[in-house]
Structure 1
Amino acid sequence: MKKEDFPKITVILRGYTHSQIRTVVKSLLGTAIKSVEITMNTPDAIEIIKNISKEFGNDILVGAGTVTTYEEAGAAIAAGARFLLSPITFSKEIIELCKEQGVISVPAALTPSEIMQGIRDGADIIKLFPAGIMGTAYLKDIQAPLGKLPLMVVGGINSSNVKEFFDAGAAYAGIGSGLFKKEDIISENLSGLKASVQKLREQLI
């Protein structure tokens, strides 16, 4: 996959059960949101990634988040993850592994120097984290001297502000608790989850 084909919005799922994650993914089918990240600090993350990828992989891009080691990267890719995200930078070894396996690499960075180092190391997309605290002005300021960058904003992004970040120059966004009501995920309220997806769509129009 090329980074240009990577979905603009990724849903971040942390700490939920397989059944709860499966219901969230079902709520995304047929919508413009076609990417989910299952974090590695979720209980049974590898097994969940494997099962969700097997069932929904033709319709939804399934990836692993909170990847911090080469071993985690290898395990996630073997389970079917098609992209890897992290709250920290990736080693060159992890980035090379992703390239070898055709997996999109998304390490995190905050400062202009960190962002450019990640790009020079070969990362496909740079996760600007925590983006919400820095705000849209920071996003614009970074790209004023450096030009358009493949940045994914994560942290504090929600249905109400995601369009502002796209308008400020973000290429991608990761949304966790800012998209769905937690109680809808826990209770597997499919209609409630679909309503939240619809609200996001309306905000982006």
Structure 2
Amino acid sequence: MSREIIAILRGVQPDEVLAIGKMLIDAGITTIEVPMNSPDALDSIALLAREFGAQANIGAGTVLTAQTVHEVASVGGKLIVSPDTNAEVIEATKAAGMASYPGVLTPTECFTALRHGADGLKFFPGSLVGPDGLKALSAVLPKSTKTYAVGGAGPDSFADWLEAGVTGFGIGSGLYKVGFSAKDVSYHADKIVAAYDSAVRDQ
């Protein structure tokens, strides 16, 4: 099954990223984001894209400029995730043939992102919106809008978010923290996938 889970590997190092990426994919998580404020992020994205590009969607997070979009595209990245709604970044992402997931919090940001071509909306921090806030916003968004809760969403709240209509989740520290081994990531990934699958089945 296709799971709408984005793994956020903030702080990952190039020398560990392939082993971690394999564990995520083996667990069933096939969208992987390396935030640009990670060490040598472009190197990690290039390694993941070359090794797993046919199996997974690999890209960058914390993307703040169009220049960074071009750099990510040049190493094989396929998706761009941002903490904010930046029209220039969204347009550059789409022009490069990549998927765009800008960060939003308000109705104005949601509609601005969609007008400029966003493929999905990243509600960040999700804890500020909550399932009830998402449900209210979804009432006015186009029915086809993909929504992702990031920050404040995890196994304990998957069911509440899904009931409110969320498409998926971005999971950071619940999957990977600096210092985690590939085995640690595998353990957490299996738990998160099991919780996600259970919540989806119960909808």
Q: TM-score over 0.5 for the alignment?
A: yes
Following TM superposition, by how much is the alpha carbon of 1:76 offset from its aligned partner in structure 2, in angstroms?
1.0
User: Counterparts of 1:106 and 1:177 in 2: how far apart (Å)?
Assistant: 19
* 1:188 aligned to which of 155, 177, 181: 181
What corresponds to 1:67 in structure 2?
Answer: 63
**Deviation at residue 29 of structure 1 after TM alignment:** 2.5
Is 1:58 aligned to 2:54, yes or no? yes
> Aligned residue for 1:32?
28
Q: Secondary structure at the match of 1:105?
A: strand
Q: 1:157·1:178 contact (CA, 8 Å) conserved in 2?
A: no
* CA displacement at 1:89 relative to structure 2: 1.1
Pairing 1:20–2:13 present = no
User: Structure 1 residues 33-42 or 113-122, which shifts more?
Assistant: 113-122
Q: Does 1:105 align with 2:100?
A: yes
User: Residue by residue, what CA displacement relative to the aligned partner does 1:142-178 show, whole Å, maximum 9, x if unpaired?
Assistant: 1123353321111122222233212211112100012
Provide the secondary structure at the position in 1 that maps to 2:191. Answer: helix
Between the two proteins, the alignment pairs up a number of residues equal to: 195
Counterpart AA for 1:57: G
Contact 2:8 2:35 in 1 (8 A): yes
CA displacement at 1:134 relative to structure 2: 2.2
Corresponding residue SS for 1:54: helix
Bigger shift: residues 42-51 or 155-164:
155-164
1:3 aligns with none
Aligned AA (1:117) = T
Q: Is residue 155 of structure 2 the alignment partner of residue 159 of structure 1?
A: yes
| Alpha-carbon shift at residue 52 of structure 1 (Å) | 1.5
**Does the 8 Å CA contact 1:20/1:186 hold for their aligned counterparts?**
no
Partner Cα separation in structure 1 for residue 170 and residue 105 of structure 2 = 15
Displaced runs of 4+ in structure 1, greater than 3 A? 145-148
Is residue 202 from structure 1 mapped to residue 198 from structure 2 by the alignment?
no
Measured on the aligned residues, the alpha-carbon RMSD in Å equals 1.9
Offset of residue 7 of structure 1: 5.3
- The C-alpha deviation readout for 1:110-148, integer Å capped at 9, x for no partner, is 011210111112111111111123211111111123353
Aligned residue in 1 for 2:129: 134
| TM-score of the pair, normalised by structure 2 | 0.87
Mind listing any 5+ residue stretches in structure 1 that lack a counterpart?
Answer: 1-5
Question: Are the equivalent residues in 2 in contact too, given 1:158–1:179 (CA < 8 A)?
Answer: no
1:60-94 CA distances to partner (integer Å, 9 max, x unpaired)? 21110000011111111111110000001122x43
Q: Which runs of 5+ in 2 are unaligned?
A: 199-203
Asked if 1:49 corresponds to 2:45, the answer is: yes
Measured in 2, the distance between the counterparts of 1:163 and 1:19 equals 35
2:201 aligns with none
Identity %, equivalent residues = 33
